[in-house]
């Protein structure tokens, strides 16, 4: 148990409520363990038919993982506690992806990083007018993990590559358009939706469809052709060159965004998504992402990115390597290489 997670069972419906409002419900290791244990109990309980996942109070849904713990680990224990966090967080992501009963994620508010990792494996993913979805890791020298390789590479239209590199934020309407969310509900309808699901966990799809409204037009759709064109290559230099050759305001804005990101992360993300698209199982994806996480955690960009963006808020990260051409194929290969015997990621038994 943890005070940062409310665990209930209402009749035939399990209910997990993230409750760490001061940190926008960012996940701690204790929260991951408590969620995993509750899900395991309900999986074995024939009386539970479905699970609701939401946040308790304040703005949410979930702003990510415990970045401060990860930075402390990178600077002080050689990444040991950070690797433990990633290992068990990824186990939770995989457990949810393989879960035999429907989970309904209410992405009402900020859904980023680790929040994406627990929302996207769910069968039902509800967006609202408050939803703000992003994988912003390129801005802090990490990479779009928690299953991001799997989910983003399967969006189509090179949208996943665009989101991974730029960290662009999508609203609820854009999430529905992109296939990230399955339903769009006004926030004022969420309490009714949850009450009805608790009453009839066998009718989730019908209940959400009845309460859904038509989302506003997705702004992202206007730029879909540009995204597909300019983010077509898996070579980061090609993407930059393509944007440089376009004199439109949109291209200039996206180019400026990319110039502020970690070149290492951008190259890692492109390799990650290209590789993930060829994998047959989510477990294989998580094994790959754990290899990346184990290496990236202690590389210079992560501690520096968190310092600049989150700790000091100066937004002036000094990336190392500083330019895309400084990030060699050999460096990327070393980040993706298998881990030593006994150190690889394994799913929950």
Q: Beta partners for 18?
A: 5, 55
**β partners of residue 15:** 8, 52
**Residue 65 a catalytic site member:** yes
Enter the DSSP assignment of 67: H
Token output for 64 = 């990510």
Asked about 137 being catalytic, the answer comes back as yes
E-strand stretches of the chain: 5-10, 13-18, 50-55, 61-62, 103-107, 110-112, 124-127, 132-134, 170-171, 183-184
Catalytic residue at 157? no
User: Residue 192, Cα to own-chain centre: how many angstroms?
Assistant: 27
Count Cα neighbours of 281 within 13 Å in the Cβ-side half-sphere: 8
* Strand extents, DSSP E, 39-198: 50-55, 61-62, 103-107, 110-112, 124-127, 132-134, 170-171, 183-184
Total Cβ atoms within 10 A of residue 344: 13
Catalytic hit among 145, 289, 301, 304: 145
Element (H, E) at 301: helix 300-306
Query: How many CA atoms lie less than 13 Å away from 12 in the CB half-sphere?
Result: 15
- Annotated active-site residue in 64, 79, 114, 139: 114
- Using alpha carbons, select from 325, 321, 329, 151 the residue that is nearest to residue 238: 325
- In 3D space, the residue among 346, 303, 309, 349 whose CA is nearest the CA of residue 87 turns out to be 346
Choose, from 65, 148, 167, 172, the residue flagged as catalytic: 65
Report residue 86 CA to chain centroid gap.
13
And the tokens for 192? 């009714």
Is 231:243 a contact under the CB 8 Å cutoff?
no
Tell me whether residue 109 is one of the annotated catalytic residues: no
Three-class SS state of 53: strand
What span, in angstroms and rounded, lies between the C-alpha atoms of 251 and 163? 15
| Catalytic positions, written as ranges | 65, 114, 137, 145
């Amino acid at each position: 148990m943890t005070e940062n997670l409310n665990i209930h069972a209402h009749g035939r419906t399990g209910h997990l409520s993230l409750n760490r409002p001061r940190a926008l419900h960012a996940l701690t290791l204790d929260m991951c363990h408590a969620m995993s244990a509750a899900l395991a109990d309900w999986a074995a309980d024939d009386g539970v038919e479905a699970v609701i996942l939401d946040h308790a109070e304040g703005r949410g849904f979930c702003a990510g993982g415990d970045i401060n713990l990860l930075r402390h680990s990178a600077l002080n224990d050689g990444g040991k506690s950070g690797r433990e966090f990633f290992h068990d967080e990824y186990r939770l992501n995989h457990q949810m992806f393989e879960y035999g009963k429907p989970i309904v994620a209410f992405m009402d508010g900020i859904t980023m990083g680790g929040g994406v990792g627990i929302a996207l494996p769910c069968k039902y993913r509800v967006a609202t007018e408050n939803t703000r979805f992003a994988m912003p890791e390129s801005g802090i020298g990490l990479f779009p993990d928690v299953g991001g390789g799997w989910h983003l590479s399967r969006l189509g239209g090179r949208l996943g590559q665009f989101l991974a590199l730029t960290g662009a934020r999508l609203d609820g309407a854009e999430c529905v358009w992109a296939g990230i969310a399955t339903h769009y509900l006004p926030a004022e309808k969420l309490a009714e939706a949850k009450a009805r699901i608790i009453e009839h966990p066998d009718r989730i799809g019908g209940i959400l469809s009845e309460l859904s409204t038509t989302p506003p037009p997705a702004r992202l759709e206007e730029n879909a052709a540009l995204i597909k064109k300019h983010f077509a290559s898996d070579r980061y230099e090609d993407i930059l060159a393509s944007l440089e050759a376009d004199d439109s305001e949109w291209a200039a804005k996206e180019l400026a965004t990319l110039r502020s990101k970690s070149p290492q992360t951008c190259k890692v993300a492109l390799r990650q998504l290209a590789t993930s698209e060829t994998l047959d199982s989510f477990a294989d994806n998580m094994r790959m992402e754990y290899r990346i996480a184990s290496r990236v955690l202690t590389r210079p960009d992560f501690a520096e990115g968190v310092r600049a963006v989150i700790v000091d808020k100066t937004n002036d990260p000094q990336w190392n390597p500083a330019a895309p051409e400084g990030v060699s194929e050999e460096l990327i290969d070393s980040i993706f290489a298998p881990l030593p015997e006994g150190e690889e990621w394994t799913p929950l038994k």
